[in-house]
Amino acid sequence: MYSLYFDGASKHNPGHAACGAVLYDEYDIEIDNDSKYLGNNITNNYAEYMGLIIGLQLALKNNITEISVYGDSLLVINQMNGVWKVKHDILKKLYANANKLIKSFDKMIFIHITRDKNKRADELANTKL
């Protein structure tokens, strides 16, 4: 199954923020990536959600229908898994956007990882800061 790793970064939280996402094939070979500067006065949680969203869009662009999604944001992973409620209005919109994208996939799982296992996505996010 394909893998998606995503990350967000915000300097001074809130502050200048960016996000990154990287796709790997079933052999753990990087097949595509994307990163984006998000602006100033942006929170880390917002940046993390945007990393997920650009990653899902990247997977769809690559015609991937089954994917494992990895992120070091406990908030995003637990909210996407339905463990935690989404309380903040801005995050509710991003959560809804992500869920709309998820409907295009046949199979998806969300897995929390530690930051040291998310280096490439972190690198992509930080290149835009």
Instruction: Output the pLDDT for position 118.
Output: 98
Instruction: Output the pLDDT for position 93.
Output: 98
Question: Rounded to two decimals, what is the model's pTM?
Answer: 0.98
Instruction: Output the pLDDT for position 44.
Output: 97
Q: Interhelix angle for 44-61 vs 89-102, to 10°?
A: 10
Instruction: Output the pLDDT for position 45.
Output: 98
Instruction: Output the pLDDT for position 3.
Output: 98
Beta-bridged to residue 35, according to DSSP, are 20
pLDDT tens profile 24-34: 999 999 999 99
> Which residue segments constitute the domains of the chain, with CATH numbers given?
2-127 (3.30.420.10)
Percentage of the chain beyond pLDDT 70 is 100
In this prediction, residues 81-98 reach a mean pLDDT of: 98
